[in-house]
Chains A and B, each alone.
Chain A
Amino acid sequence: MSGQDGPGLEHGAHWRGDMLVADSLPFEADTGPTAWQNALLAAALFAVDPVGLGGITIHAHAGPVRDQWQAYLDSLWPADTPRRLAPPNIADDRLIGGLDIAATLRAGHPVADRGLLAEADGGFVLLAMAERVPLSTAARITAAMDRGAVVLQRDGLAITMPTRFGVVALDESIGEDESPPSGLTDRLAFAVDLHGVSWGEASQDAGAPDADKIAAARARLAGVSVADEIIRRLSAVSLELGIPSARAPFFAVRAACAAAALDGRDEVKEADAVLASRLVLAHRAQQIPAPPQNEESQEPPPEPPEPPEGQGETEQKEAEAPSPEDILLAAAKAAIPDGLLDSLRAPNIRAGGAAGHAGALANAKERGRPIGVRAQAPRAGARLNVIETLRAAAPWQRLRQSTSSAPERRVIIRPEDFRVTRFKQRSETMTIFVVDASGSTALTRLAEAKGAVELLLADCYVRRDQVALIGFRGRAAELLLPPTRSLTRAKRSLAGLPGGGGTPLASGLSEGLKLAGSAKRKGQTPILVLLTDGRANVALDGSGGRQRAQDDAQSLARMIRAEGLLGIVIDTSPRAQKPAQQLADALGARYVPLPFANAASVSQAVRAVSA
């Protein structure tokens, strides 16, 4: 059965891709569906096919708008659907399962605790503050999504627990140096942004599908067919948008199927594909496809691919009608946020840089190396290792049972059985490179400076330290590489560092100071490595003027010194110069002139500072 009388939508047109434009917003025909409508639609499609679509990243602050969205999402699922809320610091034994201590002691033999991912089978996991989820936690979740099961090998337990769940990642990130791990978001079909949504808009009933329609669509989903041509177009659009992941077009196809099912159809139509490219592909865009003809005009509003009801009227405008692929592309392009397009237009920012790094740093402390167990009563700071404690007690149970006055106790633990896990304390270093890419450096030494940085990076990598990269040129400094342990990413952002322009040295120092502060708060030891000729000519506020620029740089240098930060200044001027030397003095940093320092001795100098 198709179209008009199925369990489709009463306001069908509202929920058919860009048809929504024409119907519901007659006075603002070129604004497209609002973020709120997109968010509701994503929730509905996700509820139709939670496992196939993986989930949703909701970019929003905690508050009534997000609550409203969550309430809508909740309303779409049967009452007995498991919903599990996972905090970002969730421990492994709660996430993937482990030994149930109380039950084990009661029973006298190991009893497993299922863990949240297994409990969420058939429902979904809400990931709170997803931008703070460590990489390791994200990887455990995605492994379970990929396998359709949690594979547990811990605490003496070896269990495989089948589970299929969707994930809703609540992303509250603010700055560009935070975001949920990209390994996770890559497996979630949708990403919606609620930041611009007003409470007034969110509190209105937008006529979105309800639980009954979702249930009907779920039943219909398996029978929905999709033509090769549509798969082909969605794949082509994802290639044009420079999306590397093969999951993206797959999700787009699934989303189109879910949309068709939601509309009570058994076949995917053009409008479903338009909708899918808007909801699945747009936010993944890595590049802007070449504009069709005239560049100076604004992005054209996406043409409605076909009238809402009629089937036969499509041919009439054939001459100027855009090709089907252009329609999908236009839909995706219209949904790409302005800021994203701007950042993609700027040649010096890598689009991939904004994704998936917050986890890497949070992860650092948890990788403190456990170096075995020790017989010791758990005191403040020491964690009892229950399984090892039980193992220590186990061989004595027969003996103890026979002498014990409390025979009903299944396992008798004595103080000498207590075991705690020992961790090797190691303070991690974060090396922050602050690289001068201004005209004065670029012309002469930028390539060499890059070479030195790469050597240093390789060295940091061997020591498994984190690195971050700040570049400054023109009017301001910018964070080119948020803290990471990935040499690949570091090299890439270095390669994309162009030279030229003024020397906003103070701005570079200020960014370095900021980053060093956040490293300290995480318990890391920051080291600032400055590569510059020291000749500032842009002040902190971005205005020109050598004197003010130098003054700003000097006062920031003193602030850095006051913070007690370790530093090193590598002079990149053709001949050793006063300004860089003075900067090093103000910073209380080691001074290394690059002309005399081959890359190896530079890296030695840095090692000496950090040792």
Chain B
Amino acid sequence: MAAPYPFSAIVGQDEMKLALMIAAIDPSIGGVLAFGERGTGKSTAVRALAALLPPIEAIEGCPYHCDPAKPCGLSEACAAAAERGATPSVHTISVPVVDLPLGATEDRIVGALDLERALTRGEKAFEPGLLAYANRGFLYIDEANLLEDHLVDLLLDVAATGQNIVEREGLSIRHPARFVLVGSGNPEEGELRPQLLDRFGLFVEVAAPRDLDERVQVIRRRDAFERDPSAFHEAWQAEEDGLRASIAGAKESLNEVDVPDEVVARAAELCVSLGTDGLRGELTLIRAARALAALEGAPAATQDHLRRVAPAALRHRLRRDPLDEAGSGVRVDRAIGEIFGGETGRDAARTAAQ
């Protein structure tokens, strides 16, 4: 399998790229869902993201690649680390980006009795599943709307608690499973269950570029990539390095970025005017604005940051209004226009990413 297309070489799709970077900077935002037309590079962007993430330290030999500071104590390696005084051996790994492919079965997602060891050695051992591998990283579901219902239930459970509880085949195991959920899909093929939709912090609508120059560029780069992937990667190396450095920098400075009271007030105002349910919208909005500020090296989040992340943070949180032909994206834009004045949020997101 060839190396993925570089993130920085993706033409346009600024809102989606920004949302992914924001989720990478602050995983507590709760993931990104990219919904839209076919052939717009949704999957490409997600797969490319992996290359941009700064590596992390993990306890060697732990299947959940635990943070040395927070060992889970489940595996042998981790249990040793959990004991006082023992220093675990630590290695640097790239952030896991785990694909949950369509057709995956439950045993591979949650983990199951290790059949091989059971059959050949008569041992009852746990074979970790995808949720274990995704711990501290990303879980990517392509065509999230085609995922079978019972698997969606399972994911909702784990995403809510950050823990995977396995009770099967005489196994009784509980392990950490904290990950950023990233999904993509096409609304023409059926929609997402509201409960799952709600789990995603940011929701971006993706459309193919209508601009001729942009389309030509898409084809040119795709063609160049497919003809000679390694040369293409080399050509985009500097861009990729630059982006990786800014994401790493943003992650580090995130806690120092201030969110002034008036920005919080504006966020609340926006949510009230749109009638979004609960507090999750406000929280996501503020966190996303802070992450964006960090990405741009700003000391504090501003109303401008807020405005630029608002569409992605709020458009899937509106109650459905069947009589509004415009769709939720337009309603968010309208509310932003009313509260902030001037250009709409979507325009702002576009200019921001350029």
Q: Which residues from chain A sit less than 8 Å from chain B, CB to CB? A: 52, 92, 95-96, 108-110, 135-136, 139-140, 143, 146-149, 151-158, 160, 162, 181-183, 186-187, 222, 226, 228, 231-232, 235-236, 238-239, 244-250, 253-254, 352, 356, 360, 367, 369-371, 387, 390-392, 394-395, 397-398, 411, 451, 454-455, 457-458, 461-462, 464, 484-489, 491, 495, 599
Contact = CB atoms under 8 A, between A and B. Distances in A.
23 contacts: A52-B226, A95-B103, A96-B101, A109-B116, A135-B189, A135-B190, A136-B146, A140-B101, A154-B107, A155-B107, A155-B108, A160-B1, A186-B39, A228-B220, A244-B208, A247-B38, A387-B107, A390-B115, A394-B122, A398-B122, A458-B320, A489-B188, A599-B322
A455 B322 CA distance: 6
B69 interface: no
A454 B322 contact: yes
Contact of A239 (B43, B122, B150, B210): B210
B301 to A, nearest CB: 33
A88 to B, nearest CB: 16
A155 B127 CA distance: 12
A154 B108 contact: yes
A135 to B, nearest CB: 6
B252 to A, nearest CB: 33
B188 A392 contact: no
A360 B38 contact: no
A183 B112 contact: no
B148 A367 contact: yes
B108 A488 contact: no
A162 B3 CA distance: 12
A34 B289 CA distance: 58
B209 interface: yes
Contacts of A108: 119-120
A484 B216 contact: no
**The 7 nearest A-B residue pairs measured at CB:** A454-B322, A394-B118, A247-B39, A153-B108, A153-B104, A398-B122, A154-B105
Contacts of B227: 222
B331 to A, nearest CB: 14
Contact of B108 (A158, A367, A455): A158
B222 A250 contact: yes
B2 interface: yes
Contacts of A411: 119
Contacts of A226: 223
A415 B103 CA distance: 28
Contacts of B127: 156
Contacts of A181: 189
Given A153-B130, A232-B216, 20 more contacts: A139-B102, A139-B146, A139-B189, A147-B1, A148-B1, A148-B2, A153-B101, A155-B107, A156-B116, A222-B227, A231-B220, A235-B219, A247-B38, A356-B189, A370-B106, A370-B150, A387-B107, A392-B169, A457-B322, A599-B322
Contact of B38 (A186, A398, A455, A495): A186
Contacts of A160: 1
B35 to A, nearest CB: 9
A392 B112 CA distance: 12
Nearest to B186: A183
Interface string B328-341: 00000000000000
B194 A232 contact: no
Interface residues of B, number: 66
A235 B191 contact: no
Interface string B1-44: 11000000000000000000000000000000000011111010
Nearest to A52: B226
B103 A395 contact: no
B91 interface: no
Contacts of A491: 322, 325
Contact of B1 (A92, A162, A599): A162
Interface string B207-222: 1111010011011101
Nearest to A426: B149
B101 A397 contact: no
B38 A183 contact: yes
Given A139-B102, A156-B127, A249-B219, A232 B212 contact: yes
B215 A239 contact: yes
Nearest to B114: A156
Nearest to B100: A153
Contacts of A250: 218-219, 222-223
Nearest to A247: B39
B57 interface: no
B12 to A, nearest CB: 10
B177 to A, nearest CB: 15
Contacts of B103: 92, 95-96, 136, 140, 152-154
A455 B130 CA distance: 38
A495 B210 CA distance: 23
A152 B210 CA distance: 36
Contact of B101 (A143, A454, A489): A143
Nearest to A147: B1
Contacts of A186: 38-39
A231 B216 contact: yes
Contacts of B222: 250
A411 B193 CA distance: 42
A246 B209 contact: yes
Contacts of B215: 235, 238-239, 246, 249
B282 interface: no
Contacts of A92: 103
A394 B322 contact: no
Nearest to A487: B191
A244 B39 CA distance: 9
Given A246-B39, A458-B322, A488-B188, A152 B101 contact: yes
Contacts of B150: 369-371
Contacts of A236: 212
B223 A253 contact: yes
A110 B38 contact: no
B192 to A, nearest CB: 10
B187 A486 contact: yes
Given A162-B1, A183-B38, A394-B118, A154 B104 contact: yes
A254 B227 CA distance: 11
Contacts of A398: 122
A245 B190 contact: no
A183 B184 CA distance: 13
A360 to B, nearest CB: 7
Contacts of B188: 182, 352, 356, 486, 488-489
Contacts of A367: 148-149
A231 B113 CA distance: 54
Given A228-B216, A244-B37, A458-B320, A486 B189 contact: yes
